[in-house]
Chains A and B, each alone.
Chain A
Amino acid sequence: MNKKKKKTIKTIKVDVDKCNGCRTCEVICSAFHATPKYSSNNPARSRIRLIRDPLRDMYIPVHAGEYSDAECAGRDKYVIDGKEYEECAFCRASCPSRDEFKEPDSGLPLKCDMCEGEDEPLCVKWCLNDALVYEEREEEVEEDEQEAQEEMEIGLEALADKFGLEKITDAVARMGEKDR
C-alpha cells in the first residue's frame, strides 16, 4: 500500500501588475550567486530575468527553470489585455532559441535554486513593491513505490555510465560489509 508523505512546495507568486521594471531582482540574484558570494554582480548571470518593454507596458519577471536541449517546434503568441506576448516571455527554460538563463561566458544553463540557505529568495526580499511574493505550502502526496524504484534505477544507471558497472557493484558490496 502507498504511504502518504509531506512535501513542501516553494512558490514565488509573480504579480506583474505590481512590477515597476527596476530589475533589482536581477541585480541581487546575480550578486548572491557570485563566488565568493556578493563579490560581483551581473544581471546577465541572473536566474531571474525581467522581460521588459515599458512602451508596450510589458513586465514579466521569469525564474530560470529546466534546461532544454531543443527549442520548441512551434511557438505560440498570447494576447492578454490587448498586449501580444511571445510564448517565450513566460517560458522558464534555458534553451537554444534565446540568450536567457545562460552564463554569458560559458553558455552553461542557469537554474533558480530559490536562494538555498536564505529565509526567502533574495529577489523576493529585495522587491519592495511585492511583485514577487514567496509562498511555501505543504502538500500531502502519495509516496509512489514504483516512482521511487524508477528514480533509484535512473541514478544507478548514471553512476554505472560514469564509473562502470563493476566498480558500482564492488562499492555496493563494500557498503553491505560495513552495515554488517
Chain B
Amino acid sequence: MRYAETGFNLEIDLSRGSIERVESDPELTEHFLGGLGTNAKILWDRVPPEVEPFSPENLLIFSAGLLCGTPAIGCNRTIVSTISPQTKLMAYSMMGGFWAPELKYAGYDKVIFRGKSPDLVYLWIKDDKVEIRDASHLKGKGSNETADLIRQELNEPKAQVASIGMAGENRVFFASIEQGRSSASRLGIGAVMGDKGVKAIAVRGTKDINVAQPAEYLALCNEVLEYIKWRNDNPVPGVMTILQGLGSPQEMKVHDEKWHTENFMWGNSRVRRRDFWNEGVAQKWAETLDTMRTRLISCFNCPMECGATITPPGQPTFMMKCFSKLTYTMAAFSDLDFGLKIAQRATEYGVDGFSTPQVMAFGLELYENGILTDEDMPGMPSDNEGRFYWLLDKIVRREGIGNVLANGTYWAAKEIGKGAQEYAHNNIKKHEQLPLKLSMLNPVYFLMYCTGEKINITQIEGQFPQAPYPKREHREAFVKDWFQVPDEKFKQYFLDWEPRGENSNPYYPTVQMSCDIVDWQERMHYIDDAVGMCAGLSSFPMKPPYHIHNYPKFITSGAGIEMDEEKLTQAAKRYRTLVRAINISRGMRRVDEKPPENHWKKRFPELEEKLLDAYYKFKGWNNDGIPTKETLDELGLDYVSKDFLKRGILTENEDASSDETSAEKEEE
C-alpha cells in the first residue's frame, strides 16, 4: 500500500490522444520525495537538452506534492514543471488553491503531458474516468470564464479547474496557468500548455488518501494547528507588518502601503517615490480596497487568508493575492483603482502579475525614448492608463508590437535593437525580477539572486530576518524562541549582525555564514516544493510551523518513508542538484548567475567573486557552477555525471572542489 501518495501518474500523449495510468516506482519517492523532486527526475530522464520548449517532446508535468491531500495544514501546492520558453531552462512554477488535493483524491500524483494536440482540448479527470474533450468552443475565453463554463457543461460544480487564458493560447512567454485562487505564473509555463493545445484540466476525486501512522500524523497536524494559533496571536516584533505573521504577505488585508510604494520602484523598475504615501492617498486606496474586496479567502485546508475575491465595479469577480495588488499600479504610475481593474482583465487573459506590468512599462519607456515610434504603436491611446490596457490587449493577442513584447523584455530588446537592451535592465537569466533597487550589497541576497533556479527571489528567501535588528536586546529576544533553526550557530549569526560598523553588510554575514544561511533557506523551499507545502506556512515567513525538525516526522508517519533530518537534507540536495544539472545541460553557467547590474548601488566585485566561489564549493559544484562528479555520485546521480562526462560538460581529471564538500566541514 502507498501512503500519502497514490502511486499512480497519468501519462497523456496529446499527439495520439492516448491516456495511460502508470504506477510509479516507490523507490523514486524515497529518493526524490515527490512534487518538484520527482518532476525533476522525469524531466532529466525524458527531456534531453536538445528538446526545445515548444517541441512536442517537451513534457508539461502537473504534480501534487507528496503530502497534498493529507490533513497537513496548508499542503495544497501543485508543482508544474517544464522547459521555459523564456529562459530555455527548467521552469517549476507552483500554485496553491485546490487542484493538487483534488488530483490526489481522484487517484493520481501527477499528470504528464507529452506531444501536441492538433485541436484545442481540455482534460477531464473524474476518478477512474479520464477523457480528452474538445475545447474549440473555449478558444479565447478567459481563465475564470473557462473554469466556470467547464463546470457547467460537466455539471460538476465541485470540479477544480486549472486553465489558461488567451495569453497561454498565443504562447506569450509570461503566460500563467490560473486555478482556484492561485496561479502558476512564472517562467511562461502557460505558453507551453497553450502550445500543447491544452486549454484546461478539470479534476474531481472521491477516493481516500491514506497515511502510514494515523495517530502520530494527526498529533503532528494538531501541533501545527496550535502553533499557527499561537503565532497568529504573537506577531514577530521589530519588522514591518507584512513580515510579522504567517502566510504570504497579507496584501489583501492591509491598507497601509507606505512601505511598498516608497521602497519598491515605479515604472520600468526605475523611480523611487520616497514621499508618495500621504493621508490623501491612504484614504483613497483604502476606499478602493474596501469597495472592491468582497472577502478574504484561503487555499485548500489552510486557515490563513492570503487571497481575496475582488469585484471592480462593472467587471466580473476575480481572485487575487500578494504583491500583484500593486504591480500594475506601480508600473503605470497610477493608483490602486487602476491596478485592481486591469488585474481583473490580466487574470482572465492569464498572464504573470510580475513580468507583465514590467514588460508594458518597458515598452512605454522605449516609446518615450524614441526607440519605439508611433509606427510601432498605431492607435495607441494618449493617456497612460489607456496605453497599459492597449498594450495588454496587443501582447496577449500577439498583434503588432505585442508580438515582440510577448517574449518578455530580454528577447524583445534583442529583437528591437537600437539600444533597447539597456532598458531590459531588471532581468536575471532572461526573467523579469521584482522592481527593487537598493543601496548596499547584501551578501545573502547576492547569493540567492545569483543561484536561485526558480529565478524569483520570493521562492528562495525566508526564515532568516531580511535585515539586522538595531538593538542587541531585541535580537536576543528574537532568538529566544527560534527553535526552527537547523543549528544553534544561526542564532549567533543573527545576534552579531549589526546595522552599521564591522558586523554589517556587505562583509557581515561573512562569506561562510552567508553560504550557511542561503543553503538553509533554499533547502526549506526545496522541501516545501516536493511535499507540496505552501511556502507561506513554511520556508517564507520567520518562525514558521513547518521546519527541518518536524518535517522528517511528517514524512515518516505520513508517507511511511523512514526519514530523519540528515536523510531529508540529503534528498533535498539530491533533487536540488538535479534541477541544476538540467539547467547546466542546457548551457547555464557561472556567467549567467548574477543579479541585475543596478540592483545595488554599492557593489563589491571582489567580495562577490569570493561569495560565489565559496558557495559553489559549499554546494559541491565546480567553479563554473557545475556539480562535480563526486557530488553527483555521492547523491546517487551517477547517471548525471556519466552524461556530463560524455557531453564534455565535466572532464575526468577536473580539479574538483570535492575534497571538502562543505564550508561546515572546513570550519570543523
CB atoms of A54 and B309 under 8 A apart: yes
Q: Which residues of B contact A22 (CB under 8 A)?
A: 298-303
Interface stretch, picked from B206-214, B548-556, B590-598, is B206-214
Q: B217, A38: Cβ atoms under 8 Å? A: yes
Closest A residue to B181 by beta carbon equals A54
B205 within 8 A of A: yes
Contact with B along A33-61 (1 / 0, CB 8 A): 01011111111110000000111110100
Q: Cβ of A44 and Cβ of B298 under 8 Å apart?
A: no
User: Which residues does chain A contribute within 8 Å of B69, judged by CB atoms?
Assistant: 41
A selection of 19 A-B contacts at a CB cut-off of 8 Å is A20-B297, A20-B298, A20-B303, A22-B298, A22-B301, A23-B301, A24-B73, A24-B301, A27-B71, A28-B71, A31-B71, A34-B214, A37-B215, A38-B211, A40-B211, A42-B207, A54-B181, A55-B309, A126-B225
The yes or no answer to A128 lying at the interface (CB within 8 A) is: yes
Where the two chains meet, the residues of B that have a C-beta atom closer than 8 Å to any C-beta of A are 69-71, 73, 98, 105, 144, 148, 157, 181, 205-211, 214-215, 217-218, 225, 228-229, 232, 294-303, 305, 309, 316-319
Which residues of B have CB within 8 Å of A27? 71, 301
List A83-101 residues whose CB lies under 8 Å from chain B.
Answer: none
B631 CB to closest chain A CB (Å) equals 39
Contacts of A164 in B (CB 8 A): none
| Residue contact B208 to A34, C-beta cutoff 8 Å | yes
CA distance A54 to B299 in the complex (A): 11
Q: Chain B nearest CB: distance from A75 CB in Å?
A: 16
Is A42 within 8 A of B211, CB to CB? no
Q: Distance (Å) between the CB of A9 and the closest chain B CB?
A: 27
Q: How far is B210's CA from A34's CA once the two chains are assembled, in angstroms?
A: 10
A40/B208 in contact, CB under 8 A: yes
A68 contacts the other chain (Cβ, under 8 Å)?
Answer: no
State which of B181, B210, B303 has its C-beta within 8 Å of the C-beta of A24.
Answer: B303
B206 touches A104 (CB 8 A): yes
Assuming the A-B contacts A27-B301, A44-B105, are A57 and B294 also in contact, with contact meaning beta carbons closer than 8 angstroms in the complex?
A: yes
- Contacting residue for A128 out of B209, B214, B229, CB 8 A: B229
* A28 vs B225: C-alpha distance when bound (angstroms): 12
A89→B305 CA distance, assembly (Å): 24
Would A39 and B211 be within 8 Å (CB), given that A22-B303, A54-B297 are in contact? yes
B207 partner residues in chain A, CB cutoff 8 A: 42, 44, 104
- B70's closest neighbor in chain A, by CB? A41
CA distance A31 to B232 in the complex (A): 25
A36 to B217, CA, bound (A): 13
Closest to A57 in B: B294
- Report which of B98, B300, B301, B316 forms a contact with A55, defined as CB distance below 8 A: B316
* Distance of A38 from chain B, by nearest CB (Å): 4
Asked if A42 contacts B206 (CB within 8 A), the reply is: yes
Write the nearest CB–CB distance from B661 to chain A, whole angstroms: 40
**A42 close to B105 (CB less than 8 A):** yes
Query: Does the CB pair B225–A43 fall under 8 Å?
Result: no
Query: Are the C-beta atoms of B214 and A38 separated by less than 8 Å?
Result: yes
